[in-house]
Amino acid sequence: MFESKGGVLLIGGLGFFALALVSNALVPVQMYRDLPEQRTEELVNANLMYQFEDLSRRFPESFEKYYGKPTREQAAEALALGRRVYVAEGCWHCHSQYVRPVSNESRRWGAVSATWEYQNELQRPVMFGTRRVGPDLSREGGRRSNDWHAAHFFDPGSVSEGSPMPPYRWFFDGSAQRPNRRGLAIMAYVQWLGSWLESYPYYEAYQPLPRLEDAP
């Protein structure tokens, strides 16, 4: 077995599998063993409240009807529902929530994802995703306005020409100006993604890539 090419590859393969298991699973588990898992209510932060209040001002009638006042409790409820909608609608088929430490991804999306960011209720199970038909969303918070999101969910092509993302008309009671409970929840959820970082890292990390003409 050890003399054959197949045997060497098999043992090498098992070795790399074991290494990946240790470095990607066992080491992080050890590192964060004592870090308590955050509950949804603890995930409501100032950036999210800013966006939640903004939703209540931009869509006063809908907001009043479905959430009443923009309190912290209601924000937590919206977050939890937003995540359920994200799972149910299969957003994760097309979007990842993981900025990888390769291919200069941080230049496009902001800080590389860290293990502690997933130590909470809304990441059980994690929404890493496997495909990127659309962009990574882990730094989406604060990147777009709530108006933009409403228009985009109602009709993606209206703000992003030729978008293959499907419209989500059932997030609305009629028009893009009237998001319903689920519509408001999914907007709160995408505005929450990355809001736990002190500033909006997207803007800090982002530098426009050099244009081809300017390349040396």
Q: How far is the CB of 198 from ligand HEC (least distance, A)?
A: 20
Calculate the dihedral angle through the C-alpha atoms of 111, 23, 135, 193, rounding to the nearest 10 degrees. -60
CB within 8 Å of 179: residues ≥ 6 apart: 59, 62, 150, 153, 171, 172, 173, 187
Output Rg (C-alpha) for the chain, integer angstroms: 20
Which residue's CB is nearer to ligand HEC, number 76 or number 193? Answer: 193
Please state, in angstroms and rounded to a whole number, the distance separating the CA atoms of residues 34 and 40.
19
Which residue's CB is nearer to ligand HEC, number 88 or number 215? Answer: 88
Please state, in angstroms and rounded to a whole number, the distance separating the CA atoms of residues 191 and 146.
8
Q: How far is the CB of 139 from ligand HEC (least distance, A)?
A: 9
Q: Are 200 and 194 in contact (CB under 8 A)?
A: yes
Tell me the residue length of the chain: 216
Q: How far is the CB of 132 from ligand HEC (least distance, A)?
A: 9
Q: How far is the CB of 98 from ligand HEC (least distance, A)?
A: 15
Q: How far is the CB of 21 from ligand HEC (least distance, A)?
A: 31
Tokens for 91? 């957003």
Which residue's CB is nearer to ligand HEC, number 41 or number 89? Answer: 89
CB within 8 Å of 79: residues ≥ 6 apart: 40, 43, 44, 48, 122, 185, 188, 189, 192
Which residue's CB is nearer to ligand HEC, number 119 or number 163? Answer: 163
Which residue's CB is nearer to ligand HEC, number 56 or number 97? Answer: 97
Q: How far is the CB of 191 from ligand HEC (least distance, A)?
A: 9
Residue least distant from ligand HEC (Cβ)? 134
Which residue's CB is nearer to ligand HEC, number 32 or number 50? Answer: 50
Interacting residues toward ligand HEC by CB under 6 A? 86, 89-91, 93-95, 133-135, 137, 140, 143-144, 156, 160, 163-166, 168, 186, 190
